[in-house]
Amino acid sequence: MSNSFKLCVFISGSGSNLDSIIKKQALHNYEVALVVSNKAGAKGLDFAKNASIPVFTFNWDNNDKDLTFVQNQIKQHGCDLIVLAGFMRILPKGFISAFENKIINIHPSLLPKYKGLHTHQQVIDNKDKIHGASVHFVNAELDGGKIITQTSIAVENNDTAETLGARLLFREHSLLPHTIALIGQNRVQWQTNTLYFDHNKLINPIIFND
Ligand code: GRF
């Protein structure tokens, strides 16, 4: 596995996306080299420990504003891509620019709709018929980087934020590993400031509805 595409996955909570990323390592030919969390007690860290993946936890309220010590861990483990999978803090600008176009995030909405929190409830409140999740590159604007992939689901009349969120999470578990694989295979690539998919400019998100 030493030549494979190496990931650093950031989590803050239950880590079900991390679990799906770990389970699909062999299928998609990438390797989770490091898991980082701002919560030492995050339940999702068990998935990493059970798979013998190194874990690094840190206290968010520290004096190193650019998280240089986290940057060093990522470099030491030779990570090619940082994946935010349920990481509930906004990364500092200095950290993001140190890994320009090398950080992706999964967000539970059809961006650019519903940036930020409570996306499922907003879908219910606005009586939307369709909901979804997006994987995007991370830049300095919250949930505002270039969208790579999306998945969508129908909203049922009796849906609550909980039922909708659970159904969407199931889709996220395919969407994120698929997206990582596209980047690892160089099918999704930045050239200067433009994103390409299979050598064509990526205008609209790639859709994965499985
Ligand atoms: C997911 O819905 C993800 O889109 C959002 O946070 C949730 C994380 O869930 N950013 P989990 O920790 O992967 O179970």
pLDDT at 69: 96
Write out the two tokens for 12. 């803050």
Q: How far is CA 100 from CA 77, 170, 190, 195, in A?
A: 18, 29, 10, 13
Atom of ligand 1 nearest to the CA of 106: 4
User: What distance lies between CA 32 and its chain's CA centroid?
Assistant: 13
Residue having the nearest C-alpha atom to atom 8 of ligand 1: 86
CA 98–ligand 1 middle distance (angstroms): 24
Residues β-bridged to residue 194: 191
- Give the model confidence (pLDDT) of 145-173 as tens digits: 999 999 999 999 999 999 999 999 999 99
Instruction: Return the residue matching tokens 């004096």.
Output: 63
Residue 15 C-alpha to ligand 1 middle, in angstroms?
7
Alpha-helix residue ranges (DSSP H) falling in the chain = 16-23, 25-28, 45-50, 68-76, 93-98, 119-125, 161-184
Q: Is the pTM of this model over 0.75?
A: yes
What pLDDT, in 10s, does the model give residues 61-109?
888 889 999 999 999 999 999 999 999 999 999 999 999 999 999 999 9
pLDDT of res. 1:
42
- Domains detected in the chain: 6-207 (3.40.50.170)
